[in-house]
Amino acid sequence: MRKYYLDNIRWFTVILVLIYHVFYIFNGVGIPGGIPDAKNIAAFDTAAAILYPWFMVLLFLIAGISARYALQKRTNRQFLCERAVKLLLPSTLGLFVIHWITGYLNIKLGGGLAYIPAALLYPISVISGTGPLWFIQMLFLFSCILILLRVIDKSDKIWTVCRKMNLPVILLLFLVIWGASQILNMPVLTMYRFGIYLISFLIGYYIFSHETIQEQIEKIRIPMSCLAILSAILYALYYGGTDYTAPSCLQSIFTNLYLWIVVLAVIGCGRKYFNNETAFTRYMTKSSFGIYILHYPVLMVACYVLCYFFDFPAICNYGIALIVEFVITFLLYELIKRVPLARYVVLGIRPQASEIKRRNNHE
């Protein structure tokens, strides 16, 4: 039976990512990658600081749970082939189609156009256009690591042992998260935090995929939600107005305790209150991955135009950018998914069986 609450948490978190990136591009706390000297609202920087520690950890953890369920119906080879199409194609070939726009604008905003020969501008823009696609690049790498672990542990002993974990151990996993946050962090490209994201993915696969573990987390949803609200307030007071992507912030025990509390609260409440499906949630479940892939070039163009061609008040820039991002991204997704080759390369959507049959008949 499909666990709809995992789908709902995933697409809702993607929506938070879209909102966060508006805050990020207009940030006033000195985080690289935003628009220089953009009009800023400090309260939105604080909101971004509250979101940043936990929402990608949550996505990797949910991805780990989903990987467990997927591998119950697939061989290791089938799983990797599917992941290669869904994750590797959009984050490599997809760069040449649309994400070069992100790279170009990053170079332009950083003042680098004057130093790049015209013939090299497009390929360098492609290389620089990864943006939020780092998430699916890492997810593919983690999927490969997972298959290696499955080959080593053919009898599935690790997963079986993890079923026995009790609530105190689940709560204390934040120490594992904290420890992982200290290692395998790339300099400069601070989003590539291999340690904490790999551990989150594996915790999802080996621990949180157990029904008994999910039941325990659901039972503590109320105290975890209260603690999440309290810790978010304390976190905002402590880190608000600072560079919330700095190692001193992300590697602190306070940050990792806070993010773990929020993750447990979201999963517990999701299982209790959002384990259902409607026409809207079904659409969002199907579309959220594509929306994630496409949103950033759209947002970058919108924010660039707003900042360099208009002189609106800051609150208008935030509002217009958010509306344009949502509307254009959803329209672009609906357009690209109807174009077979673009759908395959940009969104990682395989041709349907009927489409392949029709093509073979035509040939």
By C-alpha distance, which of 134, 139, 36, 126 is closest to 84?
A: 139
Are 142 and 198 in contact, with CB atoms under 8 Å apart? yes
Query: Which position has the token pair 């517990």?
Result: 268
- The answer to whether residues 339 and 282 touch, using CB atoms and an 8 Å cutoff, is no
The pLDDT of residue 156: 94
Of the candidates 172, 219, 214, 192, the residue with the CA atom closest to the CA atom of residue 64: 214
Tokens 């979201």 sit at which residue? 266
Handedness of CA 215, 219, 220, 226 (dihedral sign): positive
What local confidence, expressed as pLDDT, does residue 356 receive? Answer: 43
Res 168: pLDDT: 95
Q: At 244, give phi and psi (nearest 5°).
A: -80, 0
pLDDT of 352 reads 66
Which structure tokens are listed for 52? 């940043």
Q: Please, are residues 195 and 183 in contact by the beta-carbon 8 Å criterion?
A: yes
What are the beta bridge partners of residue 193?
A: 185
CB atoms within 10 A of CB 341: 10
Could you give the CA distance from residue 363 to residue 357 in angstroms, rounded to a whole number?
A: 10
Handedness of CA 270, 136, 110, 119 (dihedral sign): negative
Query: For tokens 């909102």, what's the residue?
Result: 19
| Backbone torsion region of residue 40, taken as left when φ is above 0, otherwise alpha when ψ lies between -120 and 50, otherwise beta | beta
Residue by residue, pLDDT tens for the chain (363 residues) are 789 999 999 999 999 999 999 999 999 998 888 898 899 999 999 999 999 999 999 999 999 999 999 999 999 999 999 999 999 999 999 999 999 999 999 999 988 888 899 999 999 999 999 999 999 999 999 999 999 999 999 999 999 999 999 999 999 999 999 999 999 998 877 889 999 999 999 999 999 999 999 999 999 999 999 999 999 999 999 998 899 999 999 999 999 999 999 999 999 999 999 999 999 999 999 999 999 999 999 999 999 999 999 999 999 999 999 999 999 999 999 999 999 999 999 999 987 644 444 444 433
